[in-house]
Structure 1
Amino acid sequence: MEMTILYRPVGPKELALIEQSEYRRFPKRLAEQPIFYPVMNEEYAIQIARDWNVPASGSGFVTKFSVLSEYLKKFRVENVGGVIHNELWVPAEELEEFNDNIVGVIEVTKSFYA
């Protein structure tokens, strides 16, 4: 089984929900969040966690996880800026199935605080 490593920058509220799942699942999106977007590299995840999550909520975290590569082929990779700004766009209604394709646990690799 080939796997792809993805990253997700999160704030403290989302991290608490991940913890409640024993680091196995990402929480459902809010009504105003139609897309779940993990990012394709740690550098971009660090930028978001440090530069967006910390000012917004006082802390930011980078999570790292593996997903079955074959499953990911159904989603588009979107570039939203510079060369490192690649995101995988997963419709919110498909997040449960996405979670089912995570292999292992979701790890916190970096933490940032105000």
Structure 2
Amino acid sequence: MSRKTTTLWRPTGPEELALVEASGWTAWPPRLPEQPIFYPVLDEDYAVRIARDWNVPASGSGHVTRFEVDTEFLERYPVRQVGGETILELWVPAEELDEFNAHIVGRIEVVREFR
């Protein structure tokens, strides 16, 4: 029996993307001290807007990644609406990121790039 997964997206800059690549495309890197929360998003369009409108000016490129996570595991994180109807995020405390990574199913893939 295969487990049910949920598709998540993550807008990311080049430094974080290099760390994901170094993991073999299987894990997100630990948060920095000023990053207490890891926040994947639930809508590709929202991830595109962050990658294009925030990551590109901040670091020269922005990337939209897509990945699958075990749905049952994700139930512990309430969906946060942080703007309009499609501005939805999960807030994963930094100290839970290793456990979150263990519930990623398959590989993290880059689906869009902006420069």
What is the TM-score of this pair, normalised by structure 1? 0.98
**Gapped runs of 5+ residues in structure 1?**
none
- TM-score, normalising length from structure 2? 0.97
Aligned to 2:83: 81
Structure 2, gaps ≥5 residues long:
none
Deviation at residue 12 of structure 1 after TM alignment = 0.2
Amino acid across the alignment from 2:62:
G
Query: Sequence identity of aligned pairs in percent?
Result: 60
Alignment-derived partner of residue 63 in structure 1? 65
Deviation at 1:76, TM superposition (A): 1.3
Aligned equivalents of 2:48 and 2:11: distance in 1?
7
- Would you say how many aligned residue pairs link Structure 1 and Structure 2? 113
For 1:76 and 1:92, the matched residues in 2 are separated by: 15
1:53 match: secondary structure:
helix
Partner residue in 2 for 1:72: 74
In the aligned structure 1, how far is the partner of 2:13 from the partner of 2:89?
Answer: 18
